[in-house]
Chains A and B, each alone.
Chain A
Amino acid sequence: MASGSNIDPSHIKFGKSVYINPKIRLPQFDNGDSLAYQAYDSQNKEGKFIAIIAGVENIPRWNAVAAYAGLADTSFMRLVGSGVVNWSLENKQKYVFMYSGGLGKCLVEEGGFSEHHWRHPDIVEYFIQPMARMFKEMSDKNFAHGSICPSNIYYSGGGANSPVILGDGLSACAGSTQDALFFPPSKALAHPMGRGIASLEDDIYAFGVSLVLFLRKGNHLNGLSNEDIVRRKIDIGSYATLIGQERFPASFLDLLRGVLHDCSSSRWGVDEFFSWLDGTRLSPEPLTKKKKANRSIDFCGKKYLYAEFLALDLHKNPNELSSIIENGSLGKWVERSVDDTPMTERYIKALERSLADSDNKDYLAAQIAIALNPSLPLHYKGKCFTYDGLGSMMAKTICDGGDMGYYKSVLNLSLPDQALAGAGLPQNEVLANLKQFDTCRSVLRMNNMGYGIERCVYILCDSAPCLSPKLEQYFINSDSSVIMAFEDMCKRGGQIALMIDQHLAAFYYVAYPNIMGSIAYDLNSPEKDSKIAANLRFMAGLQKRARINSVPAIARVFLESLSGVYKAFNNKEMQKVIKSGVEEAAKDGDLPAMAALLDDKTSLARDKKAFQIASAEYRMLEDEYNQYNIKLANKKTYGVVSGHDAAAVVSWLAATIITVIVILAFISGNRIF
């Protein structure tokens, strides 16, 4: 089709020989807002690829690429490459995930029904077994997919009677492209970007839902809202909610009951999955029974007999909640009617905590909701997210230009810490998460470069690229991407030497704390020259690590701003030598050489010592000058004492000579008088 010489100029190059054709869309492989395009290898006509293009706003999982590339199972879409591409359609950089093509249709279209003609053994062989193998490998390689749904599982291109292929799970934030149906009640109501880090347990649950959608013949959930479905899942469990009155093959029911368990710790894992495949009959654990209150409580015109349902609705009317707390009816209901001691304790603690911001009724609602149903996501001031989904929510808000003050208050009120308590995590994970939140609160208190809410984003969302507003046209996730972005900006002009901004500093503080630590002092200095020197050192470090030989445009920008930096050397001759050296290095675009010249510790120490000696000499000369100035002020008296002494010497000398002559004359008999 296309050879190296006659490539359509509108095609976007990726890597050495792969081109993306932006005119050919492959919508069946889209992952949410990450759109799929056809790509091809210009060297090999057979090479057809699926390029999924993700923008910064999708928070793609670029840091999980290495783990995904290590997955050997053939049922994963084969990732042939990934990286930043200049997406000319939007005139900005995007992250591309390049998969090998040759896939068939998806198992079930979104909102549709399966058109399969597989018998039960085929379903096991071509769908369930490949999924189990993939879960096993994901478990071994510590990877979670985060985008499992039947519209993202494909028939093999080789024919219907082949194992299914699992679609892309990297091009979007984990969980953000799945429908709420694919999540247990603990995550379903959260904002798509706030569903937290992908986990194998969630993937297994999503597989269960996918299997139900694949097998179902009707849709009894049609017309129900996400909240209604969650309410039903809480009421009767996910399995019963999804199966409904549908008649499924009996052999799959145990599997579905196991993988659709609402509690992640009781849900089937990989081992149970394989045991079921081996034919072992396992009985899934029953659902934990909710405690029914003796009498109902009125809230928002509805009567509640279960605290779990009340927790779902508290955020809808915080004022009424406040009044039923103040008149004691909620307290009595929890203590006497529900009669659940742990819940009562949580309720009392929540009331105590809410005193920290007693005027904030939304805070009170969030606290009480956590107390009544700790497994639900956090609902605060109209936003809903899980404790581990906060980071990606914040990143998305920055991309959308939203107000970050909300997240500052969430962190300062320790809401994620309290939501964490209900997640049922092992103690070490709880402590690790609490440490993260503590770190966030401590960085919020500081105003230095690289601190503040921006740093919290990168601490809590490790897949967030740098979200600096000045770099919004670029996808910044590595040293080379930073360097190349600034080189491009410097070429365009208007760029100044103070390149590091709050976001870039925060991003690198999290990714490479040692680099930022070494320049932190100068970066926060009030002197502009120190800041410029810190910027140069930072960019030089990046160029060195990225192994990019030459960045002449960045070097030129720095060169124009270094006049004050040379003054780190006191000796003017040395300044000239350094300046000419820096100019030479700038011509080659060699930032490390420029920084090395300005940061040469031996030369700086020698210069400092020589300056101290020269300074001492200057002061000594100044003292001597002042002494002379005082002495010479009266010309009549200066040197008179010495003059008298000299006169005495002369006089005594003359007198001695005269005396000797007189004595000689006397001895010789001659008389003078």
Chain B
Amino acid sequence: MADKKEKKAKKSKKPKVKKKGGFGFKGRLFFIALVLMSITFLPTTMLLFFGMLPSLVAFFVNARGMSARASTISAMNLAGCVPFVFKLWDTGNDFEASIDILTNTQTLMVIYTAAAFGYMIDWVVTGLVSSYMYQKGVLRMKAIRKRQEVLVGLWGEGLSGTRNDKS
């Protein structure tokens, strides 16, 4: 009995390792639905595939953990695609219409410029935010030093624990 309990305890103590990569059940379900939807709305899928190429590139090019940049580009890229998706649906939603739209230079210019705009947003906002945070950090460091000086002024150098002004 005791041995069984010990084994159970050992088992329960083992850290649960999360499986990395792959999809879960919900993910798989979503992927199957997406494939089915893609097959059902093949012209739209084709339009989006070529239109969203910058986003795909961004997702694959960016380092792990930098998905925020890809997300930024994707958002604007998608916004660029949306008018042409509506145009496709408005003109019959077939392969010919889809190819017409895709072969139009203006279409690709608009979609890819939107994606570039997304990249620009990422560059500008990231620069602004990091600069702001850096300055905030510097100010905080100065505030810490000032507070420490006040504390030392009030309690003596012995406060830091490195110097003992009692001796």
Contacts and interface: CB of A to CB of B under 8 A. Distances in A.
A573 interface: yes
Interface centre among A611, A642, A647, A650 (most CB of B within 10 A): A647
A621 B148 contact: yes
B156 A570 contact: yes
B159 interface: yes
B148 A622 contact: yes
Interface stretch (B19-27, B28-36, B128-136): B128-136
A160 B112 CA distance: 146
B155 A571 contact: yes
B92 interface: no
B156 A654 contact: no
A567 B118 CA distance: 64
A643 B138 contact: no
A663 to B, nearest CB: 8
Contacts of A628: 137, 140-141, 144
A609 interface: no
B87 A673 contact: yes
Interface stretch (A47-55, A68-76, A630-638): A630-638
Contacts of B75: 648, 651-652, 654-656
Contacts of A631: 137
Contacts of A614: 151, 154-155, 159
A632 B130 contact: no
A566 to B, nearest CB: 10
Given A567-B166, A648-B68, A639 B141 contact: no
Interface in A619-673: 619, 621-622, 624-625, 628-629, 631-632, 635, 638-648, 650-652, 654-656, 658-659, 662-663, 666, 671-673
B56 interface: no
A644 B131 contact: no
A666 B79 contact: no
A473 B122 CA distance: 93
A611 B134 CA distance: 33
B47 interface: no
B83 A662 contact: yes
Q: How large is the interface on A (under 10, 10 to 19, 20 to 34, 35 or more residues)?
A: 35 or more
B154 A571 contact: yes
A366 B166 CA distance: 55
Given A614-B155, A625-B144, A662-B83, A647 B133 contact: no
A572 B152 CA distance: 9
Interface in A274-306: none
A640 B110 CA distance: 28
Interface of B: 65-66, 68-69, 71-73, 75-76, 78-79, 82-84, 86-87, 90, 106-107, 110, 118, 121-134, 137-138, 140-141, 144-145, 147-148, 151-156, 158-161, 165-167
Given A647-B124, A651-B121, 13 more contacts: A529-B166, A614-B151, A618-B159, A621-B147, A621-B151, A622-B160, A625-B144, A639-B134, A643-B125, A647-B126, A648-B68, A648-B122, A655-B78
What are the nearest 9 A-B pairs in CB distance?
Answer: A643-B126, A639-B133, A639-B130, A643-B129, A647-B125, A644-B68, A655-B79, A655-B75, A651-B72
25 contacts: A567-B156, A572-B156, A614-B151, A615-B161, A621-B144, A624-B140, A625-B141, A632-B137, A638-B130, A640-B126, A641-B65, A643-B125, A643-B129, A644-B68, A644-B126, A646-B125, A647-B68, A647-B122, A651-B73, A654-B76, A654-B121, A655-B76, A659-B79, A662-B83, A666-B86
